[in-house]
Amino acid sequence: MTSTPRPTERLVVLGAGVMGTGISTLALGHGVSVTLVDTDPDQLARAEHGIADGLRLAQLMGRLPADTEPGTLLTTGSAQHVAGASAVIEAVTEDAALKARLLAEVSAAVRPGTLLISNTSSIPIDELADAVARPADLLGTHFMNPPSLIRTVEVVRGARTGDAAMAAVDDLLGALGRERVVVRDSPGFVTSRILHPMINTAARVVQQGTASVEAVDALMQGCLGHPTGPLRTADLIGIDNLVDSLLVLLERTGDESCRPCDLLLDKVRAGTLGRKSGAGFYTYEEDMR
């Protein structure tokens, strides 16, 4: 039986949070070797556990190719290995200044033509392109969480993204078994521009006492076909990440529906951030290590 071809010698993922861990899991399961970079050693240790668990779950659910040897994982606190990467995915928190600084460092270190990807949920790609040496090499992706279980990826072509980068991301996503939908650059693109204000409204309904968390999600699932409900989705995204994205949208669009409601802000202050913290709108005792 023939193995699935490997699209890159080594994929570098910057950031070992929820999305960096999930993207690494997807790549490793499809035979792509990954260097996962994070300055926090505890975060890297959690990511290694999360990747092992994610690979087991995806395999049990039949979401990984059975005829492919898993890629090798290297975790490091330094981006020194980025120079030899065939592609780099930045997956740090939704902070435009931090993303721009990392992308600037990476673009100065990699070979011209190396695919640079920002896995941002809301920051315009052309805004980030101002920081890189070769804007034609940069584009955006928005993997949904968990990446190993959701096949569709939003791909954002910036105003200066080149044809070669678009071809390279097609090859990468094809090798990862993902289907891509290309959209134009704009704050929040499509998925976050629609989903995140809707989650904010759902949280505001709970805050106002109109319905419980469970009732909101049950109605959205049973009446409107939302697969998990908006508030359970918020827990999956990470409520801190959701608030960061809403603030980006508010700043760049002026849309007041994107102003995070008090309930979301209270949860961030309390550290109840969703599945990753063991509690958000719901509790997840089984996820606590």
Catalytic residues: 142
Residues 6+ apart with CB under 8 A from 94: 120, 121, 122, 123, 241, 244, 245, 248
Pairwise CA distance, residues 230 & 200, whole Å:
9
The strands making up 87-90's β-sheet, listed across from edge to edge, are 73-76, 34-37, 11-14, 87-90, 115-118, 138-143, 152-157, 179-184
Alpha-carbon span 182 to 142, nearest angstrom: 10
Local structure of residue 275 (DSSP, 8 states): G
Distance CA 51, CA 54 (A): 5
CA distance linking residue 138 with residue 132, whole number of Å? 8
- The Cα–Cα gap between 89 and 94 comes to 14
Q: ∠ at Cα 86 (105, 2), nearest 5°?
A: 160
For residues 109 and 35, is the Cβ–Cβ distance under 8 A?
no
Residue type, 286: E
Residue 181: count of CB within 10 angstroms of its CB: 11
- The conformation of residue 199, written as its DSSP 8-state character, comes to H
- Closest alpha carbon to 243 in 215, 216, 262: 262
